[in-house]
Structure formats: structure tokens, C-alpha cells
Amino acid sequence: MSVTPKIISTLLASALAATSVTALAAPAAKPTAAEAERFLADTEAKLNKLNNEQSRAAWVGSNFITDDTEGIASYFAERYLTASGEAAIGARRFNGLKLPAESARKIMLLQQTLVFADPKEREQYAQLQAAMNGAYGKAKYCSTPDNCMALGEMEKVLATSRDEAKLKEMWVGWHAQSPSYKQKYTDYVALSNKGAQQMGFADTGVIWRSQYDMPPEAFAAEMERLWQQVKPLYDSLLTYTRYKLRATYGPDVVPLDGPIPSHLFGNMWSQNWSNLYPLLKPTTGASSYDLTKVLEQRKTDAKQMTRYAEGFYTSLGMQKLPASFWERSLLTKPRDRDVVCHASAWPLNEKDDVRIKMCITPTAEDFTVIHHELGHIYYFLAYTKQPFLFRNGANDGFHEAIGDTVALSITPSYLKQIGLMDQEPDVTADIPQLLERALSKVAILPFAYSVDKWRWDVYSGKTKPADYDKSWWQLREQYMGMKRPAPVNGTSGFDAGAKYHVAADVPYARYFLADMLQFQFHRALCREAGYTGPLNRCSVYGNAKAGAKLQQMLALGASKPWPEALKAISGEDKIDGNALLEYFAPLKTWLDQQNAILSAAEKKS
């Protein structure tokens, strides 16, 4: 998965602000529309400059992790936060004033933020944010003083091993690291809520839910509606996976019903089950084709991996990546220093300084991820002409969905066209391909929904620090059907913090929305391209008509409410999980048939 780092996200994505107590008092004079326009022009110019500065500092802080770079990143973030806080308070003066729609939207966006009245709290907030990001990036599990493993190394074990004890050791070892910054997170939550309350919001979670062009309670209901729409597909996939894990690890490890231990799913957070495919693949129909093997055999390096992804976007009629992208991006893991390897895309100015930070390896997974990351990059490039406050996705789910939409077009047809596959598999391979894709696209749905559901309760105070783990695992069981592989560590645990997006305070609902939107976008682009076959076989690679439709939506940025942006690409103004269900419909039928067979066999044994 990917995310633009929170420290450089725009106000629409909950940029955090700071200001002085005196600034909280609104001027007494009645404002005018002309004053509002001058205020917006001055504010956008100032925020644009400061955002560029703090983006560069954040880039250095993530690529050269030291106490010094952490301090530098914190300093420039604080400068930006101060200015955006002053802008948020200043924007209040123009509430209720009749303004052009574009200006009124900017005034609204400016106020979707937090403000700290106490400069010391502002400074502490920025320091805590930088410290948690650094602590996550530097964390290692040491089985002995001389044998320490970084997260990436442990993830490889989870991905490849079938030794249940070893899997448990890796899982527990990584999750033992996050309690070291639990207190920082607790302090961070308290400060964040103070900032939310300064702007009239009950808590930070309410601000997050307010950024979707609908009331916060309506957004929470919309998330639940979408989850219920696709839950039957997830349930079928989980049931099938349970039978296969039970056959692999035995009934003493995997129960016939009830929650399944989470360390068995091939991923540190059980959000992506792709590494289980060898255990789950059908006995017939599966293609012997292995993209990872092809990439490795061809000695495909990180730059060539990125070139493949760039080629997809240019085939749609989009521009080539700027020369500076290739000069300034970090595409491989350095040997001489710690970096945050979590894949992310970065816009460092309002022109064309865009970059990727990712430790790319020649695998099928990273082939998909780099296509995804360039989706962010091309979104950045498409809306560079928008004013500062509109240089963002229509909502944060849109930003995540673009690259994933393109990744849905990584079909055998596409791979053959770019020379990575000699012969397309027979149509009987559709089920194996759909199953493999569902292990990432469907498996993540309840995780992506429940991460922020947990944080909404943390920010609201419903979940206290002593109950962080209890609440986290209640949601894991309720939505994912999983349990902790070892007992919860009393009240001191912080398993949620073992996930990057919690430690870095990046909202996660965007990934749930992105999973829904990408299939809706894909369906719309395939229709635009004139495709009429099964949705899972469609690739829009090389189709300029589909590319123009996509570019039309990307160029809007955040200038319009997201339903309008959705309508621009799909003709629909409501997120619809049926596109995802249509894509996986053949798989759902097959899973239900397999589950009936496996259930009958289990009863006979």
C-alpha cells in the first residue's frame, strides 16, 4: 500500500495547524467579498511557499533518519502548521458571506483543520509526530543482541515460511516494538483533540469524517453501508482460506469456527493474503506463469520496474515523467542508512518536482505497487494548475484509487503487450487470477474499514489507552474474523501502533474507499474504451479515449465536491460496491462451490 506522508499532506487531508490565542478573536469589522478574495490570494501564496519548504525537510527526514533530520523536519512542519492555523482562524471571518462557489469552497477547506492555542503544544505536537515516524522506521526485533531484524526482513519470513512457530515469533517480535511509543501516541491524541476543539469540532475523528462533502455521521453510515454491500464476498473468501489453513497447520492451530490466529495470513497485519496463494490456488486451471520469476530472470532493476509503470500512463496519452523524477527519487534501499521504506509518492512543489520513495525489488507485488505509486504522481501532475487549496484528490480515497485502477489493467493481455508474457493463459485461468487478486483487494476491506473505526473511538475517548489492544482486537475479530496469536499484553500493549499509518497518523478510510472506487473507475474506463467482456479481463492499456476520460477527472483536483468528480469519470455520483462484486462474480460462485465441498469433507472426517 501507499500514502503521501501526512507531514506534507494538504489541509483537505487534515493538515494540522497552530496559532496564537490572540488570533482566535475574529475582527469586529464586517467583511467584504473583496477582502475575502485578497485573504485567499495571500493565504494560498504563503501556504504554497511554506509547504514546499516543509516538504523538502520531510523528504530529507524520511530518507536520512537521524535525530538531526528529525529536528529539521519538525521545525519546518511547525512553520507550516503555524501559518495554516492562522489561515484557518482567519477564514472564520468570512463564514456566511456570499462568495463565488470556488472561493466559498476554499474558505470551507481552510477550516477543516486543527488549531493549537498554546505554542508549546504546537511544538510538542510536531515533535511527537516526527518522533513516532522515526521510531517506526528505526524499529527492529532482536532475538539475541547480535541478531536483529528490520521489518522488511520479518515480512519476508511471514511471506515465505510455513513454520507456525517461526511465523509467531516474527509477528510477536514486531508487535513488541510499538509499546515503546505508546505514551507518545497517547500524548499525541490528547494534543490533537485540543486542536480539533479549538476549531469547534468534538475531536480529531470528527474532523477526519467531515472531509467528505457530507456530515460526519453520514460518512460513518456510508462506510458501514459499503462494507455490508461487499461483506458476503469477504466471508466466502475467509471461509475458503480457513479450510486451507486448517489443512496446512492442523485443527489445533486453526479452529473450524471462531477467529483465526492472525500470524498465519502471510502478512504482518493480515491485510493482504497474497502470500497464501500457493496454499489456496485451485488444483486445476492455475497458470504456471510467475511474474516475479520473469522479473528476476531478466535482472529487472528498480528503474526498469518504474519505466514499465510509466509506460502504462504514457500509453493513455499522459506525459513522460520529468527528468528530475529520475534524478531525485529514491527507488532502492540504501546500504548505509535507515530510511522509511514504506512506498510513498511526493509532490515537492507546484510545478513538476515529483518523486517516489520506495525500496523496489523485482517482484510481482512491487510491479503492482509502482504502478500504484505513479497513480499518485500523475494525479499530482494533472492538478498542478489548480490553486494551492485544490491541489489534492477529490477525496483521499480518490488519490489511492487512481493507481489501483491502473493496476487492475495489469492483465495477461497487458503483460504480453509489454513483453513480460509470451502466451496468455487459457480462459480456465480466470479463477486462479481472480483468487490471487482477491487476496489483496478483498482481504483488505475489513482491515481498511476498522483501522479508522478504532481511531474514531480513540479520538472520541470511547477507547482509553488502557484498552487500546482490547478494542483493536475486538474489531479484528468482528470484522476480519481474526485473533491475536498470543495473549494481549494487559493494558500496556499497542498493537495498532505496529501499523505505519497509526504511528504516522495517516487516515486509513481512504484505502477502503479506494478499494471501492477503483473498481467503479475501472468499469467506467472499460466502458469508455468500448470493452464489453468480463470486467476482470479488461485492460485499458494503450486506449487514449479512456485516458482522456481519466485525465479529465484528475485535472479537477479538489476543486469540486467528490460526487462531481466521480460523475466526471463514471456518470455516477454515489460510490457503488457493485462494481467490485461484478469484477469478482465468477470467483464468488467458485468459492461458494468449494466451501460446500470442503464443508462436506470436514463433516466426514
- CA 110 – CA 53 distance, rounded (Å): 19
CA distances in angstroms from 506 to 7, 48, 133, 249, 470, listed in the order given? 9, 21, 11, 35, 21
Q: Where are the beta strands (DSSP E) in 224-277?
A: 260-261
Is residue 134 within 8 A of residue 68, CB to CB? The reply is no
Residue 286's identity, in one-letter code, is: A
Confidence tier at 237 by pLDDT (50, 70, 90): very high
> Could you report the per-residue pLDDT of 289-326, keeping only the tens digit for each?
899 999 999 999 999 999 999 999 999 999 999 999 99
User: Quick check: 56 pLDDT over 90?
Assistant: yes
Is residue 176 within 8 A of residue 442, CB to CB? The reply is no
- The pLDDT of residue 24 is 46
- CA 5 – CA 43 distance, rounded (Å): 22
What value does the mean pLDDT take over residues 103-117? 89
- CA 473 – CA 191 distance, rounded (Å): 25
Cell of 1: 500500500
What value does the mean pLDDT take over residues 496-509? 94
- CA 375 – CA 313 distance, rounded (Å): 8
- CA 424 – CA 316 distance, rounded (Å): 22
Least confident of 76-90, 302-316, 387-401: 76-90
Residues 586, 587, 592, 598, Cα dihedral to 10°: 130
- CA 410 – CA 408 distance, rounded (Å): 5
User: Quick check: 14 pLDDT over 50?
Assistant: no
Q: pTM score, two decimals?
A: 0.86
The domain limits of the chain are 1-139, 289-424+515-571
> Could you report the per-residue pLDDT of 423-473, keeping only the tens digit for each?
888 877 899 989 999 999 999 999 999 999 999 999 999 999 999 999 999
Mean pLDDT of the residues in the chain = 92
Query: Going by C-beta distance under 8 Å and a sequence separation of 6 or more, which residues neighbour residue 205?
Result: 452, 455, 456, 457, 458, 459, 460
Buried b (16+ CB within 10 A) or exposed e, 265-288: bbbbbbbbbbbbbebbbeeebbbe
- The pLDDT of residue 559 is 97
- CA 84 – CA 242 distance, rounded (Å): 49
